[in-house]
Structures are given as structure tokens and as C-alpha cells.
A and B are shown apart, each in its own frame.
Chain A
Amino acid sequence: MAQDKSYQAWLDMLNAAQAQIADNEEQLGALDAHAGDGDHGASMNRAMGAVQEAIAGMQGEGVEELLKKVSGNLLRIDAGAIGPLLGTLFRGLAKGAAEGKGLNAGGLADMFRAGLDALRGQTKAQPGDKTLMDALVPAVEAMEGAAASGANARSTLAQAADAAAAGAAATTDQVAKYGRARNLGEQSKGAADPGATSLSLMLRGFADAVRDLLDDDDDPETPNA
């Protein structure tokens, strides 16, 4: 795929992620209200605002620069843990882009693996701890599985979004190990983790954007992967 198409795809992906968050702001706040302070929807909106500012400041420098700017802006917002966590994820994605990973199954899997590795440098949270890791880890594994089976980018992101949504839904029955919800112990059960939910919404946005932008010529399956 041509580099310019890849750049356009990332712009569309980020915009679609913002739309998903905006459409679900109230739900995210309500999830957070179960065991937290109810401001996760507002925090995520602020995070997506920081993403928009990064986009507005771009002059077509490319995917790596775009993701770097997104990361830098996310690290600047005051949104508790969300700024550092998403900022770190995007720093890892930018690193993947710097290594020339493209918008194909293998490239996406490598980029998101780099994002996950970067996050692991900042938090010890594991799947099952009721954090965004419960959405991100299965999403990365789904991408790697899709890449191994020769899927195209659209199918890879769709599978990742499905896996993230399932992972986020499964947090409903988990006891929180991180954040303010941790202090509630068993009472933190009964609502999905807001961070895992917003990450799965962002991935859904990524998947929808790429589905709408690319056609079979842009996005062939990669049987040799």
C-alpha cells in the first residue's frame, strides 16, 4: 500500500476512535461511577481532544510523526492515569511506525505489540486485573493470529476490535487490582472496566475507519505472511 494511503488511514482511524468515544461518553462515565469517580468519559474526551490537536498540527509529515505528536499531547493532558497510559501506547505505536511497519496485518501486529511492550514498562497490570490490559492484550494476540493466517488489514483490525470488546466485557466479573476501584474489592464487580471499554471502542473505531477507506486492491490478503 502506498505510504500516503497509510497516513490517511491513520487520520481516519484516530477520527473514528474519537467518534466512538464521543458517542459513548455517558456510558464510560457511568461505568466509572460504579467503582471510581465517574469522570472517565470526560477524561477520554479530553484525551481525544489532545489527539485532534495533534492532527491539526500536522503538515503531512507521515505516520510516525503523527503518532509521536499524539503521544506527546496525551502525556500533557491532566487526566489521571489515562494520559500516561495512552501516551505510552502511542509512543510504542510510533516506534513501530519508525521501524517501517505498514498498514498490513503483520505491520499492525508489530506496531501494537510495540505499544503493549511500552505499556508494560509503565505498569505491571496483567489481563484479569480489570484494566485496559484486558482489552489490549487479547487485541494484540488477535492481530498476531490474523497476521499468521494471512489476513488483510481490515480483517486484522476487525478481529482485534472483537477480541478487545470480549476482553472488556469479561472485566465485568473481575475484581479491580488497580486504580481507585481497587479499594472497593469485591464491590468493584458488576461493571466493566472503563479503561478496557474505551480502548475497545478506540479499536472499533480503527477497524471501522480502515474498512470504509480501503478496498481489496489497497488491502490484499497476505498469504505469504
Chain B
Amino acid sequence: MELCDRSAHKLLELLRSKQVSAEEIVRSSLQRIAAVDGRPGSLESGEETEKDRQSVHAFISVAAEQALDQAKSIDRQLAKGEPVGLLAGIPFSAKDVFCVKDTYTTAASKILANFKAPYTSTAVERLQKQGAIMLGKVNLDEFTYGSSNESTAFQPCPRNPWDTSRVPGGSSGGSTASVAAGEVPLSLGTDTAGSIRQPAAFCGVVGVKPTYGRVSRYGIIAFASSLDCPGPIARDITDAALMLQAIAGADPRDSTAANVPVPDYLATLEQGVKGKRIGLSPDYFQISYMDAESGEIHQKPVQEDIRAAVYHAAEVLQRMGAEIIEDVPMPNTRYGIPAFFVISRVEAASNLHRYDGVKYGYRTPSAEDDLRVMYRKTRNEAFGLQPKLRILMGMYVSAAQYSEQYYNRALKVRALLRRDFDQIFDPLGKYRLDALLTPTTPTTAFPIGAIYGDSVLMQYADQFTVTANHAGIPGISLPGGIAADGLPVGVQLLGPDYSEHTLLQMGRSLEIGTQDEAWRSQRPALTLRW
């Protein structure tokens, strides 16, 4: 096992006992990137080659020099015996929606390809303050709009390290691919409908969507501001807890970052699940999706090995002392996606208004003497199809004459989704759950090109994750097995507001309970080749 394949907490141990240096850690990661990542995504990608098809393409930009400088500086501090941060010397990647001062932040869109933020997002700033080292920015669906990473304007798009013919998921697919491929132990992602958890499941890593407002959104290019949650992506629960510890907490620059004390996530991590009440809901084992041609709604059970993995996880947790409560009704789950189609589009269309060629980013090169023509050409030339689709839908459903029918109704459905959760988590209610255990996704990672273009079907990949965004509650996805197709399966734990410590504790128990199972030693194909 190379250094870059180790977990962050193991690396910290090695670093503090002076068995390795931060520079060695960073060099190991940079070597892995050089070995597996292939060429970075760019606006002019040209023909796709065979090598492209076998590479991860997680990164848009790699800041090797700065990373090495920071590593050396950490090593000097350690040598002098100076105190260092919680994550000193640990490399991480950041989804390219996190603004970092003096680096490009593109949102994987042509319209921001040349944008250099004069500020650093709170999440990145807090990681850096703890000594973590940013190796670079990773790819995503353009403006985070997608579940596969295929819509990035920076091609080649990321590929799944377990099988490079498959998508890594999205929109934080570059993040999860970079963690799964051993390029970095940690990555920052964002989750608006499942954009951390779904690709974490597809890539066999841990993804945490914190409670809305638990982690500041300052400096993160917005998708849907009422749903966006930045969060950690890591290879195991302990690393995710470490990372969340560093980034969580109120921020005077984000009015929605709640003023709630941050618990010590590591302190409770090993406390087990004895007495915890964990629910299973039949509503999370089937998807309702609409047939593109007929418009009919079909019900379809989740992939069998995914169902089996979740039930297996339940058994393990039960064995470890948790109480499993079955048949928990979550009747509005299926409406999460249609409500998301409305709410997220309204906010996204508004958030994309600012990209107009006036202040930053792309402006059409054709000389125009009418401002309105300049706007149209700029936005047409630099937005891809997915942003355009979201803008148009947002315009439609928030128009004065339709907003009651669509937008306000969707908000009410969101309130219903929240109520579903309030009822099962109510400590005086019928179910009194500490968490709900569900599949993260209805399927394992799908082949590149299989769904892309069908915007409705693509969205249904988020059916089990989007509910937490509507409700604002935290959710984590962690590996739950390997399916028959050789691809990772994710299981999801959802809990009440600010219950990240409980979810992490349960996740850690699941890790312990499954540590001897064969699938746990399987590694992504790509990391074995090198």
C-alpha cells in the first residue's frame, strides 16, 4: 500500500511519529495523480483517446508547487516541534466550485473558465488553517447540474476508478473519483440533491451531507442556495469526521450558517450503536420514475444487490446492539424529485443571472453595440445545455402567472417531506428513530453515455438522496458492499438536524462490523494497476 492509499488519520499518525514527512505524502499523491489522472479537463479537449478512456480525469487544475511548498513548511514546523493543525500535511482536493484566492474557479463552465476569485471559501480556509494541503481543483458537472459529471465543459470528464467505462456519479464526481483513485485522501464536495452521497456510493467512498447551515456556504458557487451543502468526502468514517470537525460551524459571512455548537465528532465516534433505533422504509427500496415516451410513472425496485447490501448493513448494526425498526412509512419520498425540479430551478436560474459578460468570466468576442445582444451571445456561447435547461425551467415555474401552481406547491411538498422526517425522528413519536437506513442510489454506477441527455432519468439517480436536501437534515453515504457487477454499493444513514455525530458513530460501527468481510479488501481496479 502506497502512502497515497492510506487514510488521513493513518497518515497523521505516521507524520506525528515522524515516520513520514508531509512532503513525502504530497509527493505520493502527486505521483498517483500523474499515474492515473490522464490529461486534465479543458475547454478544447479534441478527440478522446484510448488513454483518455482509461484515466480518471478528476482534476481540472493541480497546484503541485504550492502544495509542496506548504508540505515543506509543515515539515519545518514539525521538526521544530511547533504545534500544527488537526489535518497538518494531509492533501485534499476541492470541487471546482470552491473559490480559492488567486486560483481559477471554473464551476466546470466556459463562462467562468478565466475567473480568479479574490477570496477563499470558508470551508477551504478552515481546512488550510488546520494544515491541510490543497492539491488542486476537481471536475464536476457544469455548475453542479448533473449526476454523472458528463456535462462538464472541461473534457475529458471524470471516470469511475472502479471501471473507467462508468461514470463516477455527480456532481461531486471529480471529488469522489480523486479520493477513490488514491489521488487524495480527502475532498470537498457539495450536495444539493445528493451530489456528495451519490458519487460517494458510485465510487465506494464515504460522503457526508451535513445539516443545511452546518458548514458555511461562503465562497462556494451556488446551485440552489436553499439546498446546497458543502461536505467531506473521504475513504473512511474517521477521516470524514476529522474533516467535518475542521469545516463545521457558524460563519459571520454566511447568514444561514446556524449558530449551533460543533460537537467533538471524534470523541463519540467509537461509542457504538447500542440502543440506537434505526429504521428501514419500504419507500426507499423502490423508485418511481417517469417513462420519457409515454409519460407514465413506473415503479421499480432498487437493484437486488443494493437492497441486499442495505439489509445486510441493518443486520450488522442489529448484531452490534442497534434496534432495527422496519416498515417506517415515508410516503412523500417519491415527490422529492419533482419538487426538486421546481425549487432548484427557480434558485438556479436566479443564481445564474449574474453571468452576463459584464463583470467577470466570459464575454462574447463579437463586437456588439447593443447590451442586450451582448448578454444573449455571451450566455449562449458560454453556458452548456444543462445550465440553459435549468435557467429556462426556473424562468417558467417562477413566472408570476405560474408560480402558485408550481413554485409554491413545490415548497409545500418540501414541507411535507420535512414532516415525514419530523415524525419518524420525534423522540415522543411512534418511531423515535435515531436514523433511517436506506440505499444511497437505486443502481450502481451506470455506463458513460447511458443516461446522459435524458434529464429526467438522470435526476432520478438522486431520488433517495434529495429528500435530505429538502428537509435540511444530514445524511451520510458509506460503502456497503460490492455488487455483482463489481461496482461499489452505498448505504445511506439519514438523521435529524445536527445529528452528524450520531450518523458518523453508526457509520463507524458499520465499518467495524464489516471489517472482516471480503468486499472490504477490494480496491478500485485502476489503483491496482500502478
Chain A bound to chain B? no
Query: Which B residues are within 8 Å of any A CB, using their own CB?
Result: none
